[in-house]
Chains A and B, each alone.
Chain A
Amino acid sequence: MKTRSRIAALVAYLVLLMLPIYWMLNMSLRDNNDIMSQLAFAPLHPTLHNYAVILTDPSWYLGYVNSFAYVSMNTVITLVVALPAAYAFSRYRFLGDKHLFFWLLTNRMAPAAVFLLPVFQLYSTLGLIDHYIAVALAHTLFNVPLAVWILEGFMSGVPREIDETAFIDGYSLPRFFLTVFIPLIRAGVGVTAFFCFMFSWVELLFARTLTITEAKPIAAVMTRTVSASGLDWGLLAAGGILTIVPGALVIYFVRNYIAKGFALGRV
């Protein structure tokens, strides 16, 4: 294909891809009367009123705090348990290793809807409902298998000789793992953290079921507030746009690693 037509095709796709998001952005900068009165491709009377409402009302902005809290907890828990496990899978054979690996993966593929009611009952029995930790733990159901899978790929790319040399030099396994091995695969750890963040951030079924008010994620706050105030489209759009921002920032920071992470084909 000619370079010019390639660029044209790419630009056309990117424009179509951005159009729904642009439309949301456009609406978020207009007030509700303006939105309902006419269709406009750009805000004629741009206003930041909708954003001001969200950023000054605790019932709105605490939703962001809540989402960040459980997403970060989930990412940390997932990495802490997945790193040693991925090392075991990449370096050792042990009783039932293949079955265990497959069983882990089936949980990545299990329908969340199947677990919804029993997970709710489990966490309410433990009195964890409406705490960050409940959502963070529930999300490990699909993030831990994914993290083990991605990390195992990165670790298998590191030659065994490095481990053996270190052990001969008198390193203990924990010391070797923390001071030599993890720095070696830091790109892998970064990619894994990115995917944990991503899947925990976008998931809502568990997050909404396991929270009532105190730990409610922003995406759930959005729908609730809107239904109570009788559909303020501008406010809804502003809330939606603000949920996109963290994702955009995260992608920007890892943009050069995305291709590498995907190249391992382990997502």
Chain B
Amino acid sequence: MRKTLDNRAWFLVLPVFALVAFNAIIPLMTVVNYSVQDVFDATHRSFVGADWYRAMLRSSRLQNALGRQFLFSALVLLIELPLGVGIALVMPKKGGWATSLTMVLVALPLLIPWNVIGTIWVVFLRPDIGLLGHFIDHTLGIHFDYPTVPSQAWISVVLMEAWHWTPLVALLAYAGLRAIPDAYYQAARIDGASGWAVFRYIELPKMRGVLTIAVLLRFMDSFLIYTEPFVLTGGGPGDSTTFLSIYLVKLAIGEFDVGSAGAFSIIYFLIVLALSYVFYQALQRVGTGEAK
């Protein structure tokens, strides 16, 4: 769309700018402040330059948390994307009560407060009173104790995450599918195309836009995840499910090591910023490349 050049438009964005700047820039400057100082108490502090940054970049705990974070985000994408697309394909196409009911049920996990999500799974996975925990422990006979076994803690966190967020991918993919005109399917039927061919050459290309957004959203949000795994495992056993945000909060509030936490915050923020930029560019390309 052609747009008029008019710098007075700044007056319209000024409230947004002021509000977000208040919430983002002042706190960010506080963090920068911490990251270059050694704070002893309210009155004694000294400038230490880049010491905290050097220490954090060499910290094996940070490197491990970063590795876990990438592994977790990769698993999330690998599970949720195919599953979400599959669900979107079987969701009813026509309107009516069945569609409404499906929409409400699928969207439900998205509107549960995040710590309640954690609580639901803590209960669900308990071997004594939880359905799934009881099923694995008693019916399958596998000793199940996710708070002490790292591999089980990982499976639990990934399972919870897939349960919680696959609906978002499904709803996005469903919206993409609904936007395909019926004529495409009729043409495919006349050509005698197989179900797979319809999916591969009509549905998948048409879903490219929404799926790109699904990838970006799921990657970013899983990269920032905090509340749900914190409630479920507390980052344990040991450090085995300590993702970046959990580690950061441990440092800043648990150990009150504000220097390290400040430097960590800036490093974390720069990683997110770099990734956002790459994704934003990809998104812009999808936006212009596709005739929407």
- Give me the interface of A with B, judged by CB distance under 8 Å: 1, 6-7, 9-10, 13-14, 17-21, 23-24, 27, 35-36, 39, 41, 77, 80-82, 84-85, 87-95, 97, 100, 102, 104-107, 109-119, 121-122, 137-138, 140-141, 144-145, 148, 156, 160, 198, 201-205, 217-220, 222-223, 233, 236-237, 240, 243-244, 246-248, 250-252, 255-256, 258-263, 265-267
Task: Decide if B171 is an interface residue (CB 8 Å cutoff).
Answer: yes
From known contacts A84-B12, A258-B171, infer whether A263 and B20 are also in contact, taking CB-CB under 8 Å: no
Task: Decide if B217 is an interface residue (CB 8 Å cutoff).
Answer: yes
Q: Number of B residues whose C-beta is below 8 Å from A?
A: 95
A223 contacts B213, CB within 8 Å? Answer: no
A-chain residues with CB within 8 Å of residue B28 when the two chains form the complex: 114-115, 118
From known contacts A102-B280, A113-B248, A204-B227, infer whether A198 and B111 are also in contact, taking CB-CB under 8 Å: yes
Inter-chain CA distance A156–B119, complex, in Å, is 41
Binary A-proximity of B264-292 (CB < 8 A = 1, otherwise 0): 01001100110011001000000000000
B23 contacts A141, CB within 8 Å? Answer: yes
Inter-chain CA distance A18–B105, complex, in Å, is 8
Q: Specify which of A94, A95, A105, A118 is in contact with B27 (CB 8 Å cutoff).
A: A118
| Main DSSP-derived SS at the A contact region | helix
B-chain residues with CB within 8 Å of residue A141 when the two chains form the complex: 20, 23-24
A-chain residues with CB within 8 Å of residue B15 when the two chains form the complex: 80-81, 84-85
Inter-chain CA distance A208–B59, complex, in Å, is 30
Closest 10 CB pairs of A and B: A247-B111, A118-B27, A118-B30, A92-B9, A88-B12, A262-B175, A263-B175, A219-B113, A113-B245, A88-B9
Query: Which of chain B's residues 68-127 have a Cβ closer than 8 Å to chain A?
Result: 86-87, 89-92, 100, 102-116, 119-121, 123-124
Give the nearest-CB partner of A92 in chain B. B9
A-chain residues with CB within 8 Å of residue B119 when the two chains form the complex: 222-223, 236, 240
- Give me the interface of B with A, judged by CB distance under 8 Å: 1-10, 12-13, 15-17, 19-20, 22-24, 26-28, 30-31, 86-87, 89-92, 100, 102-116, 119-121, 123-124, 128-132, 134, 163, 167-168, 171-172, 174-176, 178-179, 195, 209-210, 213, 217, 220, 223-224, 226-227, 244-246, 248-249, 252-253, 258, 261, 265, 268-269, 272-273, 276-277, 280
From known contacts A92-B6, A95-B7, infer whether A140 and B276 are also in contact, taking CB-CB under 8 Å: no
Inter-chain CA distance A19–B106, complex, in Å, is 12
Inter-chain CA distance A140–B176, complex, in Å, is 29
A107 contacts B30, CB within 8 Å? Answer: no
| Main DSSP-derived SS at the B contact region | helix
Inter-chain CA distance A220–B118, complex, in Å, is 12
B16 contacts A104, CB within 8 Å? Answer: yes
A263 contacts B178, CB within 8 Å? Answer: yes
Give the nearest-CB partner of A246 in chain B. B111
B-chain residues with CB within 8 Å of residue A137 when the two chains form the complex: 19, 22-23
A-chain residues with CB within 8 Å of residue B174 when the two chains form the complex: 259, 262
From known contacts A244-B116, A255-B104, A259-B171, infer whether A160 and B2 are also in contact, taking CB-CB under 8 Å: yes
Q: Specify which of B12, B91, B103 is in contact with A255 (CB 8 Å cutoff).
A: B103
Q: A13-B90, A77-B19, A89-B13 are in contact. List 8 more A-B contacts (CB 8 A).
A: A17-B106, A93-B6, A113-B268, A201-B111, A247-B112, A256-B100, A262-B174, A266-B213
From known contacts A20-B163, A21-B120, A111-B224, infer whether A144 and B6 are also in contact, taking CB-CB under 8 Å: no
Sample (13) of A-B pairs whose CB atoms are under 8 Å apart: A19-B131, A88-B10, A95-B10, A102-B276, A106-B273, A111-B245, A113-B245, A113-B265, A122-B27, A144-B16, A202-B114, A243-B112, A265-B213
From known contacts A93-B4, A111-B272, A113-B245, infer whether A204 and B115 are also in contact, taking CB-CB under 8 Å: yes
Q: Specify which of B108, B132, B163, B253 is in contact with A251 (CB 8 Å cutoff).
A: B108
B-chain residues with CB within 8 Å of residue A248 when the two chains form the complex: 104, 108, 111
B23 contacts A14, CB within 8 Å? Answer: no
Give the nearest-CB partner of B227 in chain A. A204
B163 contacts A17, CB within 8 Å? Answer: yes
Inter-chain CA distance A24–B116, complex, in Å, is 10
Q: Specify which of A39, A104, A112 is in contact with B226 (CB 8 Å cutoff).
A: A112
Inter-chain CA distance A265–B286, complex, in Å, is 11
Interchain nearest-CB distance for A26 vs B (Å): 9
B1 contacts A160, CB within 8 Å? Answer: yes
Give the nearest-CB partner of B22 in chain A. A137
Inter-chain CA distance A24–B121, complex, in Å, is 9
